[in-house]
Amino acid sequence: MPPKAANAAVNHLRNKSRASISTACVVSTSSSTVESGLRIVGAHTDSPGFRIRPNGATVSDGLARLGVEIYGGPILATFTDRDLSLAGRISFLDDGKHLTHQLVRFNQPLLRLPNLAIHMNRGVNEDGLKLHKQNELPLLFAQLTAGQLPKPYFLELLAQASGIDATRILSWDLAVYDTQKGALWGANQEFYADSQIDNLASCHAALQALLNDAVLNSAESTLVCAFFDHEEIGSESHIGAGGSFLADVLQRINAAASTEREDSARALAHSFLISADMAHAYQPNFPAAYDADHRVFVNQGPVIKSNANRRYSSESVSIAHFIRWCEEAGVPHQRYTHRSDLPCGSTIGPIASAKLGIRSVDVGCPMWAMHSIRESAGVQDHDYMIRVLERFFSD
């Protein structure tokens, strides 16, 4: 049987809104913040994919399509032949002419990007599936009759899904999501698969750790889970890790504990940030993609990520702290560096750490197929991550 926490994670991923347009802080405050500082776990809520263009609905030969922009760096080919739909946020005028915002989700499959048959693309298995980003990504969504116009037709669909009169809708942010539910897989159900594992799995692990009663009762520090939007596009927005959101929240927490400016600086000096984001697990079909000495494996524990050019925030002191928390929690750990001849990704870690002046380490559970619409990871790792974050929060 998989650990209970992993089941909870799968259920969480099944039930998530999929809209991925949120930034949030969850905080448990302590009266001794000045002396013991803040224990922060940072992660991101957004995932690469497609966003609907404002005037995206078009029709040709009776087939209505929605134009999309690419958000972040998805593996485009994985979006073909999936049961896609839409989720996001609508802004509208309510009855009293007040500006109002509401989340919306189409629950049924609404969209599809059908592949070209192999008979018309004979080289696909040799050359890979290459999709033209402007011309070949619009998503099919309806078959219209001669008198139907695509834009009002789509607006009416939006009105039906949201319950908001079409004439009141002013604007929207809509993301494409895969309606397929998460699943455990493997001979012993030791793996799980879903969309958006990067990085909702880390968000879930952090929240599970913070909401543990034993952690809340024993913690001497103020505990913070900080979840950011826009990591996949560089974090530079008012709600991204490059914005002032987290610094503002921490400043308010510190101000509530003490009005002395010096006390706030002392609290930050005693603080620590764990940047939790997924890592690249070894896939034995592609051995050349990895540094041979830094391969990390699913179900063998959290990965500590290092990069000499600080694409990750880890350094020897913060790494040593994390190893100690792993050992105290009875959790194994692994070490990862990226190949030198491949560009390394990054996380919110270096950005948030630099803005706050707080020591940080970049860690994450190993996973396969990062940025595919169907990612997968190890069940045991999720439990490991929760346990080491619980230890961190209790330190």
CA dihedral 25, 215, 323, 334 (to 10 degrees): -70
Q: Which stretch binds Zn ion (CB under 5 A): 7-15, 20-28, 274-282, 298-306?
A: 274-282
Q: Phi and psi at residue 60, in whole multiples of 5°? A: -150, 135
Alpha-carbon dihedral angle through residues 263, 268, 271, 272, given to the nearest 10 degrees? 180
CB distance 89 to 21 below 8 Å: yes
- Shortest CB 175 distance to Zn ion, Å: 16
> Would you say 71 or 92 has its CB closer to Zn ion?
71
For the chain, the first-to-last Cα distance in angstroms comes to 30
Interface region with Zn ion, contact rule CB under 5 A, candidates 145-153, 161-169, 203-211, 271-279 = 271-279
The b-or-e profile of 213-229 (16+ CB within 10 A means b, else e) is: eebeeebebbbbbbbbb
Smallest gap from Cβ 46 to Zn ion, in A, equals 9
DSSP strand E in the chain: where?
24-28, 38-44, 49-60, 63-71, 84-93, 99-105, 139-143, 169-178, 183-185, 191-194, 222-228, 272-276, 279-280, 303-305, 334-336, 359-364, 366-368, 375-378
Burial class (CB in 10 A: 0-12, 13-18, 19+), 141: buried
Residues 203 and 199: their CA atoms lie apart, in Å, by 7
Residue 176: how many other CB atoms lie within 10 Å: 25
CB 280 to Zn ion: min, Å: 11
Looking at the Cβ atoms of 124 and 233, the one nearer to Zn ion is 233
Q: Which is nearest to 247 in space by CA: 22, 29, 25?
A: 25
* Residue that has been written with the tokens 């959290």 in this structure: 302
Nearer to Zn ion, 241 or 268 (CB): 241
Nearer to Zn ion, 45 or 299 (CB): 45
Q: By C-beta, is 23 or 222 nearer to Zn ion?
A: 23
CB of 377 to Zn ion, least distance (A): 12
By CB under 5 A, tell whether 275 contacts Zn ion. no
To Zn ion, the closest distance from the beta carbon of 85 in angstroms equals 23
For the CB of residue 44, give the shortest distance to Zn ion in the complex, in Å: 6
Residue with smaller CB distance to Zn ion, 199 or 360: 199
Residue 37: left (phi > 0), alpha (psi -120 to 50), or beta?
left
**For Zn ion, how many residues bind (rule: CB under 5 A)?**
3
**385 bridge partner residues:** none
The answer to whether 79 and 112 are in contact (CB under 8 A) is: no
State which residue, 73 or 287, has the beta carbon closest to Zn ion: 73
- Work out how close the CB of 351 gets to Zn ion at its nearest, in angstroms, rounded to a whole number: 13
Which of 18/270 has CB closer to Zn ion? 18
Please report whether residue 277 would count as binding Zn ion according to CB under 5 A.
Answer: yes
Cis check for the bond before 199: say yes or no (omega within 30 of 0).
yes
Exposure of 391 in the CB half-sphere (CA atoms within 13 A): 16
CB atoms within 10 A of CB 170: 11
Closer residue to Zn ion (CB): 198 or 381: 198
| Stretch of 140-148, 272-280, 299-307, 308-316 contacting Zn ion, by CB under 5 A | 272-280
Q: Does 381 bind Zn ion (CB under 5 A)?
A: no
Of 137 and 278, nearer to Zn ion (C-beta) is: 278
Task: Give the shortest CB-199-to-Zn ion separation in angstroms.
Answer: 4
Q: Which range, of 75-83, 192-200, 236-244, 257-265, touches Zn ion by CB under 5 A? A: 192-200
Q: Cα separation of 288 and 50, whole Å?
A: 30
Taking the complex as a whole, how short is the minimal distance between the CB of residue 290 and Zn ion, in angstroms? 18
**Of the candidate residues 198, 229, 381, 383, the single one contacting Zn ion (CB under 5 A):** 198
Rounded to a whole number of angstroms, the minimum distance from the CB of residue 198 to Zn ion is 4
Q: Which of 45, 162, 199, 346 binds Zn ion (CB under 5 A)?
A: 199
Q: How far is the CB of 384 from Zn ion (least distance, A)?
A: 18
Pick the closer one to Zn ion by CB: 178 or 375: 375
Report, in angstroms and rounded to the nearest whole number, the Rg of the chain calculated over CA atoms: 23
Binding residues (CB under 5 A) for Zn ion: these are 198-199, 277
